[in-house]
Structure 1
Amino acid sequence: METDVETVAPDDEVSDVLGRLADVEFNGFPVVDPEGAVVGIVTQYDLVHLFQTEDRTLWIPVGLPPFTETLTYAVDVSWDDLDLGIDLARNADRPISEVMTTDVVTVAPTDDLDAILDLLADDERDINRLPVVEDGRLVGIVARQDVLRAVRDLRAESKR
């Protein structure tokens, strides 16, 4: 496990976390409270999802306020530069607690490699990183890449 874990706080703003995520080589952060307890996890998926429209419909108001009539256009507006700017402005100051995943799968420092492999290979969840928790506090993180290296090293040792 990696013990030097970069984390974010539940009240950190989306824009700050996006900026930090752009500067690291992994795809998410554990979200920890002031006592060090894991309260969530925020990933690239969680943040990118903020910038994709759920339905691809654009409503254009017609006439004068209060705009009692609208024209409806079914267009793909999800990645248009203007829409991204509007989405960023609308979501930039939202706290991470509103977009994070709260159902976090964690492991203990004493969990064996097989248990960790089972979690990372789960068919229902796409887990890339497992926070390691001891006595209710974050003490490390295990990434898929760490597990692959460990398996490689074990195989190399057994061939000697």
Structure 2
Amino acid sequence: MSLTARSLMQTDVETVAPDDEVSEVLGRLARVDFNGFPVVEDDEERPSSAGDGHVVGIVTQHDLVHLFQTEDRTLWIPIGLPPFTETLTYAIDVSWDDLDLGIDLAKHAGRPISEVMTTDVVTVTPDTDLDTILDLLADDERDINRLPVVEDDRLVGIVARQDVLRAIRDQRVESKR
């Protein structure tokens, strides 16, 4: 049996909307065990799961943490309003001499995801074969960790590197039996 995106993908996909704020998405990333969200848009209310919208971008930890990257020191970013009940587990470099840091953090926290997301999203269809998926995930020029699966211009699932590795491992185990 040949593996395709349909057999590899997770269909319960957490997404964000283009108008979600950076601070909200950072908070959500701090609570999940993956490092990015497809950005989906729909004519109606904000999509809550796969199949509800079309992919307009992707936003990753790197995209968001990069907003606060400066030099010299480490800063832990608090989430929410005082008292900060949650903190992000990202250490980033910050110059303590930068008096505008607090203003910059506040300025970026309210920005919409549409301003920081990657819009050139690599997607696959449910029928994309394993070899193509491997080529995309192993591309030397792009650091792709997950591939949104799109059918009829709608998000129907996502294939992460872990999904592919797990499937290959399972296939190898099965062939040894």
Aligned residues: 139
How far apart, in 2, do the equivalents of 1:151 and 1:79 lie? 45
How far apart, in 2, do the equivalents of 1:83 and 1:150 lie? 48
SS in 2 for 1:122: coil
Kept after mapping to 2: 8 A contact 1:21/1:28: yes
How far apart, in 2, do the equivalents of 1:152 and 1:84 lie? 46
2:156 counterpart (131, 139, 142): 139
Q: Displacement of 1:87 after TM fit? A: 2.7
Residue of structure 1 in register with 2:15 after alignment: 7
Residue of structure 2 in register with 1:78 after alignment: 94
Q: Aligned in 2, Cα 1:152/1:88: closer, same or farther, shift over 3 Å?
A: same
Q: Displacement of 1:93 after TM fit? A: 0.9
Instruction: Name the aligned partner's letter for residue 156 of structure 2.
Output: V
Task: Indicate yes or no: 2:76 matched with 1:89.
Answer: no
- Consecutive unaligned residues of structure 2, counting only runs of 5 or more, are 1-8, 44-52, 73-92
1:151 counterpart (160, 168, 174): 168
Q: Deviations over 1:128-154 (max 9, x none)?
A: 010000000000000000000001011
How far apart, in 1, do the equivalents of 2:105 and 2:145 lie? 26
| Identical counterparts, % of pairs | 81
SS in 2 for 1:86: helix
Structure 1 residue ranges, 4+ long, deviating more than 6 angstroms after superposition = none
Instruction: Name the aligned partner's letter for residue 91 of structure 1.
Output: H
1:32 counterpart (31, 36, 40): 40
Q: Which structure has the bigger radius of gyration?
A: 1
How far apart, in 1, do the equivalents of 2:101 and 2:156 lie? 36
Higher relative contact order (CA closer than 8 Å, sequence separation 6+)? 2
When normalised by structure 1's length, the TM-score is 0.81
Q: Deviations over 1:8-39 (max 9, x none)?
A: 00000111111111110000000000150100
